[in-house]
Amino acid sequence: MPDYLSIARRALDRPKESGQPEPLEDVLKGMAIELRSDAAGCLFIVADEDDARRLGEPRGAVYTAAELRRVVQIGDPVTVLEIHEWKRRFNGRVREYQTQKGKRA
């Protein structure tokens, strides 16, 4: 007959898995994902600014993991498309809004 108490103790002594997925930056480092859309055209997802530079594509068509996190929080597809169009038109980056010191928004 199995010793259920020792089995339970061994199970409790095992290191617990965090259950947290790896950060996108770690998964993508050194690689790029190319996405094509009828609405947005072609865009790339990379880990960080270093990978964006190495990719050699216009910065307006490249999203870093940090930029992607900001954009996916927006629930309105029309707004997301508008952000993408502005990013592409001005070869820009998506970042947090920052006010100048001493000024209010």
For residue 11, the model assigns a pLDDT of 65
In whole angstroms, what is the distance from residue 24 CA to residue 26 CA? 5
The pLDDT tens digits along the chain (105 residues) read: 566 667 667 766 766 666 777 888 998 999 999 999 887 789 999 999 999 999 999 999 999 999 999 998 998 989 999 999 999 999 999 988 877 777 665
Percent of residues in the chain assigned helix, strand, coil, to nearest 5: 45, 15, 40
Tell me the sheet residues that pair with 45: 33, 63
- How many Cβ atoms are within 10 Å of 64's Cβ, its own excluded? 24
For residue 41, the model assigns a pLDDT of 86
Residue with tokens 């992607």: 68
Q: Can you give the pTM of this predicted structure? A: 0.72
In whole angstroms, what is the distance from residue 87 CA to residue 71 CA? 11
For residue 17, the model assigns a pLDDT of 64
For residue 2, the model assigns a pLDDT of 62
For residue 104, the model assigns a pLDDT of 66
Note the Cα 47 to chain centre separation in Å: 7
For residue 23, the model assigns a pLDDT of 87
